[in-house]
Amino acid sequence: MDQKPPRPGSRNDPKEMVLAGLGGCTAMDVIALLKKHKQTVTSFEVEVDVATSTGGNPMVFTKADIYFRLAGEVDPAIALESVHLSQTKYCGVSAMLAKAFPISYHVLVNGAEVGSGVAAFTI
């Protein structure tokens, strides 16, 4: 961990680690649910894009979009439901961060977007 990486890609700063925690937490939920439903996933990527505040310090996240890209013999409805459950019930990191800024999700199966939504937890 570093405040400002000396070289691009050499170390994560604390905010990047928060995003890695968000992506990792929800990815673990989704892949576990897909395995439970006996889906054959050959590729799985999670990308977290954020918008940040402007005009001064501290610079904070104002919005996040999570992209779930799956390939294989995956039922799009099961993929979408797995992500929905992660973003409304299971992912504790999303639950915490959704109190600070909106989190949207987008699900793509074999290159086609099959659905999207917003993280919404009732805690």
Convert the pLDDT of each residue in 26-79 to its tens digit.
Answer: 999 999 999 999 999 999 999 999 999 998 899 999 999 999 999 999 999 999
Q: Is residue 9 part of a domain?
A: no
Q: Is residue 1 part of a domain?
A: no
Q: What residues does 3 pair with on adjacent strands?
A: none
The per-residue pLDDT of the chain, averaged, comes to 93
How many separate domains does the chain show?
1
CB neighbours of 69 closer than 8 A, spacing ≥ 6? 43, 44, 45, 46, 47, 108
Q: Is residue 8 part of a domain?
A: no
Tokens 């659905």 locate to: 115
Q: What is the CATH number of the domain that holds 32?
A: 3.30.300.20
Confidence (pTM): 0.91
Q: Is residue 7 part of a domain?
A: no
**Domain containing residue 77:** 23-118
Q: Is residue 60 part of a domain?
A: yes
